[in-house]
Amino acid sequence: MSGLRNATRHKLAALVAAGVVLTGSAPLTAAAQQPGPEPLFAPIGLARTQPSNSPPRLRLDVDQLNPRVIRSDTPQITVMGKVTNVGDRRIEQVEVRLQRGDVVTEEGKLRAAMTQPPAAEAARPPFKPVTKSLEKGASTAFTATYTLDELKLDQPGVYPLLINVNGRPEYGGSERLAGLNVLMPVLSLPGRSAPPAQVPPKVTVLWPLVDEHPRVVRQRENDRQLLLADDDLASSVQIGGRLHGLLNAVESATKQNPKLMSSLCFAIDGDLLETLQAMTNGYQVQVGDDKTVPGRGKDFARRWLDGLRSLTSGQCVIALPYADADVSALSRAGAVDLAKTSVNQGVTSVSKALEPTKPQQGVLWPVDGTVDPRALSDVGGLTPTVVLANPERLKGVKGPGPFTLGQNDRVLPIDRLTSLALAGPASAAGPVSVQNGLAALLFRSTRPGQSVLVAPPRRWTAPASELTVYLETIGRMFTDNLATASPFADLADSPEGSATALDYPEQDVAAEVPAGLIDQVSQANAVQRDLLGAMLPDDTRPVLPETLMTPVRNGLLRAASSGWRGNVEGGRQAAATAVKQLDDMRAQVKVNPPGPPIVPASSNSPIPVRITNTLPVDVLVKLVIKESAGLRPGVVQQRRIPAGNAFTDLIPVELLRSGKFTVDVQVTTPGGTQLGNISKFEITSGAYGTITVAVTSVAGGMLVLLASRRVYRRIKQRKKQEPTPA
């Protein structure tokens, strides 16, 4: 983990266009086109309206906001950062000010403040000069410090803050050029120390470790290396990468406060761990349809896995569905077995990769905390399941959570306030969302006696430095007795209330992996299930049909990953990869080309058909010959084709005519799944079929009858012409 400790710290950054908007307006999208470290977007409160086509003028990079939480020992607030002229003209009289809005003491208003920052006009201290002139492309650093008296903070609560940058562009007037909205929690003020809550809330934090989306094109098998669609996972697990930052933050924060670890529970995707483990043996990266290059992440993957095993040893771990598959979408599409496999295989893969650490049994954290009730029944069956769910989807709630659900299941409600804050709107992702998440969690600390299950975004993109600050602040809450570290197992084992059902409204259905993609996965799953049912182990080979089919099934689960939400094309490519693997497997059982035309000895002579099976398992097959105008097939028996062998079967047929004609022959599973391609057999028949013989016989009989009648009439006529003897 030495590499983790050397992780570079990311910057808080705000990039806002000169065309600022009024409070409640949409995020400033024009600024997103400008480069910058860890860009941070947010509406900036009240400002003079600018033309909609106004170009960006200034970029604001906030390196430090200190402190992140105001306590009784906080004398002042300091903002450090840098402004850069990204416009097309000089900017004069650049100045910065920290100002605040009214205190937020209600949860509803706090939620609203996260998505639509209120006006920060309650306290507006004087601006502090940054520079007299900033040329085009130039940058300058600044430090602005304000006392709590200047900000007129007078009571605990959560305050909206605005870091406001003004300037005067050349040929224009003074205006707001950039700004950043954040929430600042105030626990207590100097001289007025706040007593801890009588019953501090119990806090449990999920820590998700899952890739942005699956990347495997071909699993590692025998002497074939792993093949990935790209090498972005290597970047993610090396220093400065997203997954590296998630581990680094835990290591740094828990070293300072070991008590923090008891509140953490790692939520891990087994497909991610299997992919990284395969990378440690060397792998290839696809760079074209037929070209690959060696991957560069072998050592990065090994170090990351070693660090993960060290951190999770003896700690709480829950397994996500394999490849983070969308279990609700799969279940609703009829791929129930695939949905259940994703849950079971997720547990198996995580257990194997982190051995001897074992994940919690019977725990399901569905995407967004929402799950279709039928899907829950499908994947859980009669086994008790603990569901980490959005409490807004619970029906018939009685009492506080956790809740019993039906006879077997339990629901642990995810804290929606902190989850919404950490996810943030599209305009406030990254560092701002982490600061707002801190504000939401500290707001919860003022409500004693609650159980707070913090569920960050599944694919959290906050910088490592912000993640560390977040965890360190939670650790400080435990130290100050503002909250109690609650192990996940204790939370799961203490149901207090009850709920009658889970709701799954249309908005959750609409958020699923698109139906067209899931239907493609479901259809391919039906084929692989039928093919698997036709396979039998070969006693001479150490290969089981289930093992042989695992890469195909894993590919289908990857195609159903929730990582493809919003990226349908990527999901289709993943599905096409899995379908190709399945087609390649089916093609290994086929009818051999017939060669020269077949000349049957008689009208009911059987046709020889040779079937080849190059799979390492036996396969039950059935030959199918399509009826044609010249041939009627007989009853074909099911055959078992040995692994790696060929078998010649004699197919009973009846020829209906003579001459040359072609017949389509194919091999299928007993369930009807086509194997291999359709082969065309050419038959040259010189024999007569039964009908032809019958017609010929009847015609011959009629000819004999007519000839006999003619002879009889001639004889009779001749007798009449002969004279009568005297």
pTM above 0.85, yes or no: no
The order of strands in the sheet holding 589-591 is 589-591, 607-613, 645-651
Closest C-alpha to 121, from 141, 94, 102, 96: 102
pLDDT tens digits for range 602-637: 667 788 888 999 999 999 999 888 777 677 777 778
- Give CA–CA dist 266/205, Å, rounded: 9
Tell me how long the chain is.
Answer: 726
Q: Is residue 704 left, alpha or beta, with left meaning phi > 0 and alpha meaning psi from -120 to 50?
A: alpha
302 or 712: whose pLDDT is higher? 302
**CA–CA separation, 712 and 677 (whole Å):** 63
Q: Is the peptide bond before 633 cis (omega within 30 degrees of 0)?
A: no
Identify which of 337, 385, 18, 398 has the alpha carbon closest to the alpha carbon of residue 170.
Answer: 18
Cβ atoms of 329 and 513 within 8 Å: the answer is yes
For 238, what's the count of Cα atoms within 13 Å in the CB-facing half-sphere?
10
| Closest residue by Cα to residue 185 from 22, 423, 421, 2 | 421
CB of 558 closer than 8 Å to CB of 271:
yes
What is the per-residue pLDDT across 424-460, written as a single tens digit (0 to 9) for each? 765 444 567 889 999 999 998 887 778 899 999 999 9
**Residues 388-416 pLDDT 10s:** 999 999 999 998 889 999 888 999 999 99
The percentage of residues in the chain with a pLDDT greater than 90, rounded to a whole number, is: 57
- Is the alpha carbon torsion for 348, 349, 355, 357 positive or negative? negative
- Report the alpha-carbon distance of residue 576 to residue 582 in Å, rounded: 10
Which pLDDT score is estimated for 207? Answer: 97
- Tell me the chain's radius of gyration from C-alpha atoms: 37
Mean pLDDT of the chain: 84
Residues 639, 292: Cα–Cα separation, whole Å: 40
Residue range 518-536, pLDDT digits in tens? 999 999 999 999 999 999 9
- Establish whether the linkage from the previous residue to 402 is cis, with ω within 30° of 0: yes
Can you give the pLDDT at residue 349? 97
The reply to whether omega before 600 is within 30° of 0 (cis) is no
The confidence score (pLDDT) of residue 686 equals 61
Confidence of residue 25 (pLDDT cuts 50, 70, 90): very low
pLDDT in tens, 642-684: 999 998 888 787 777 777 778 888 899 999 999 988 888 877 7
Answer whether 252's CB lies under 8 Å from 301's CB. no
